[in-house]
Chain A
Amino acid sequence: MEENIKEIVVGEQEDYVINMGPQHPSTHGVLRLVVTLKGEIVKNVEPHIGYIHRGIEKMCESITYPQIIHLTDRMDYLSASINNESVCLAVEKALEVDIPDRIKVIRTIFSELTRIQSHQLFWASYGMDMGGQTCFFYGLRDRERILDIFEETTGGRMLISYNCPGGLMYDIHPNFQKRVKDFIKYFRKVLPEYDAILTGNVIFTSRTKGIGHLSLEDAISYGVTGPSGRASGFSCDVRKHEPYSAYDRVKFNEVLYTEGDTFHRYLARIEEMRESMNIIEQLIDNIPEGPYAVKMKPIIKLPEGEYFQRVETSRGELDTFVISDGNKNPYRIKFRTPCFVNLGVLNHITRDFKIADLIAIAGSLDLVIPDIDR
């Protein structure tokens, strides 16, 4: 009997190649994965990228620095504000402008709000990938509240383009502080709900615990940053190691785990939301007085040279590298985006798991496809 069954197992002899994407609901966009299977076991995952390659880096070479802000928004649209900050900081570093405290603090608050809404969306869509529709409703319900705060001050909901070289586009709305405080009070109350629905859920934990393990050595050698890297114990938080804006004056913990499996990558994001709220709470009551923007020249020209800036987006480390030849537009600009690097590890951590785990593992890396392709 045993032997009979063995003979009819499909795919025993040869590998079976299936194509996932570019239009697939759980690749969160247009990522295409060519998966080689042996039976049900994943043997190889080959990502094909470029389905949303918009040529942003090349476009940046023909536009001015204040215009670049609007393109970086569209790179990783869930950390739009943080992307902007990185270009602004690079430009300000090159021009050696002194940024007043008020701008620094407001930028930090916006970055952290952006991080929270990004992780809320992650939670919502990851829950849905795992078959829990409720998460989608709960997560996006709370995300709307942050978008409201953004909208009141900046006029935009998602791609806010709020930072500009030399400061901010406009001053904050008079209601801003109150709304943020209200939100934090509300969100501290509902965050335990998130845990109750998903984190402690038996089905969810048994689908995510112990799969897609990424060791510390591999995380470092693949360069996996952000919550995905920190779940493996890789201390890579730029906010801690190379503080920019107002991060040097706040106290927060770097969320670190050592397990490095899918569940802890998820958990790291949930914990980061708590840390972000701590950071905002420390800053929101003492926003210093002062101007909201430094007066810059109408045409910003960077002196000849190379400039580099690291920031921590909600997915990992974003590096901006600008080469200027003294003109009003950069000679070359290069973004080291976190998702592109994190995608590289996918093949390594999904190998020898079941095809059904592929969704769980890929989802836990929290990839944003335009961030990969740019």
Chain B
Amino acid sequence: MGIKGMKYEEFKDNESLELLRESGTNVLLTTIDDVINWGRKSSLWPLTFATSCCGIEMMMTGAPRHDFSRFGMEVYRASPRQADVIVVAGTIVNKMAPVLKRLYDQMSEPKYVVAMGACAISGGPFFLNSYSVIKGVEHVIPVDVYVPGCPPRPEALLYGMLQLQRMIETETIHSRRERVAKNNSK
């Protein structure tokens, strides 16, 4: 079922749907968009990037029981150049932030960011009192999907990744360009 066949109230990201309605009226381009988006969402390759505890749960998501590869994401890439999505799994501290930014910059467009765990969202257990933890990874790089938990269950990460796939489904050439421009201006 295509994204437009879905009931309006069932869709979680209605802003993107509105954007799609506004810009995606062209018959030819929407078909191309559909094909591109289908390819893109079915082969999201994450970067092997884990700083702490959440990384273990990310590994467990790739392990037999939860099996990332059902959704085309099992190919963990060690090089940012080959990765589509960076799952920020774990705490980011001041010393690590420039490295994270550089990794993000090295990834090729289109690139997506999933903030996994309380630490990546807001600093989590280290929000108060800690002098070295970045209070949320969105201060460093733009985030697309937040997955709460400390650590999030593998199911939660899977759900987050499926949301990301949905988000990609709604993209058009136009909206993607806008997104890149917005992220680069940050």
Give the B-binding residues of A (Cβ under 8 A).
22-25, 29-30, 50-55, 58-59, 62-63, 70-71, 74, 77-78, 121, 125, 136-137, 140-141, 143-144, 147, 157-159, 369-370
Contact = CB atoms under 8 A, between A and B. Distances in A.
B162 to A, nearest CB: 20
Interface stretch (B10-18, B33-41, B57-65, B164-172): B57-65
Nearest to A144: B65
A144 B63 CA distance: 9
A143 B59 CA distance: 12
B95 interface: yes
Nearest to A141: B64
Given A23-B49, A29-B51, A54 B129 contact: no
A-B interface, 7 closest residue pairs, ranked by CB to CB distance from nearest: A140-B63, A77-B53, A25-B78, A59-B129, A370-B52, A55-B130, A25-B48
Contacts of A24: 78
B57 A141 contact: no
Contacts of B52: 29, 52, 74, 77, 369-370
A77 B51 CA distance: 12
Nearest to A71: B125
Contacts of B133: 54-55
Contacts of A63: 129
A370 B93 CA distance: 11
B53 A370 contact: yes
Interface of B is mostly: loop
A94 B45 CA distance: 51
A159 B56 CA distance: 11
A30 B97 CA distance: 12
A121 B60 CA distance: 10
Contacts of B49: 23
Given A55-B131, A140-B63, A30 B96 contact: yes
Interface residues of B, number: 34
Interface of B: 48-53, 55-57, 59-60, 63-65, 76, 78, 80, 90-91, 93, 95-96, 99, 103, 125-126, 129-133, 150-151, 153
Contacts of B90: 52
Given A140-B59, A157-B57, A158-B57, A51 B64 contact: no
Contacts of B103: 23
Contacts of B93: 50-54
A157 B150 CA distance: 10
B112 to A, nearest CB: 18
Contacts of A74: 52-53, 125
A137 B95 CA distance: 33
Contacts of A54: 91, 93, 126, 130, 132-133
Contacts of A50: 93, 95
A214 B90 CA distance: 33
Given A23-B49, A136-B63, A144-B60, 18 more contacts: A22-B96, A24-B78, A25-B48, A25-B78, A29-B52, A30-B96, A53-B95, A54-B126, A55-B131, A55-B133, A59-B130, A77-B56, A121-B59, A125-B59, A140-B60, A143-B63, A144-B65, A158-B53
A148 B55 CA distance: 19
Contacts of A55: 126, 129-133
Contacts of B63: 136-137, 140-141, 143-144
B116 to A, nearest CB: 13
